Chain A
Amino acid sequence: MFESISYHKQKTIIIVSFLLIPMILLGLFTYYPAVKLIYYSFTNWDGYSPEKPWVGLSNYKEVFANSDIFKVFQHNFAYLVMGILQNIVAIYFAIILSSKLRGKNGFRIILFLPYIMNGVAVAFMFGFVFDTTNGSLNMLLNSIGLSSLGNTSWLGTEGLVNYSLASTGFWRFMGYNMVIYIASLQAIPRDIYEAAKIDGANAMQTLWRITLPNMKAVIQLNLFLTVTGALEVFDLPFVLTKGGPAGASQTYVMRVIESAFAYNNYGLASAMSIILLLFVVIVLLLQQFVLSRGGDK
Chain B
Amino acid sequence: MPRHVAVIMDGNVRWARQRGLPSSAGHEAGVRSLRELVELCCRWGVKVLTVFAFSYDNWVEVEFLMKLFEKSIKSELEGFISEGIRISMIGDSSRLPKTLQELVSDAEDRTKNNSNFQLIVAVSYSGKYDVVQACKSIAQKVKDDVVRRDDIDKSLIEQELETSCTDYPYPGILIRTSRELRVSNFLLWQLAYTEFFFVQTLWPDFGKAEFVDALTSFQQRKRRYGRRDS
Q: Do A and B bind each other?
A: no
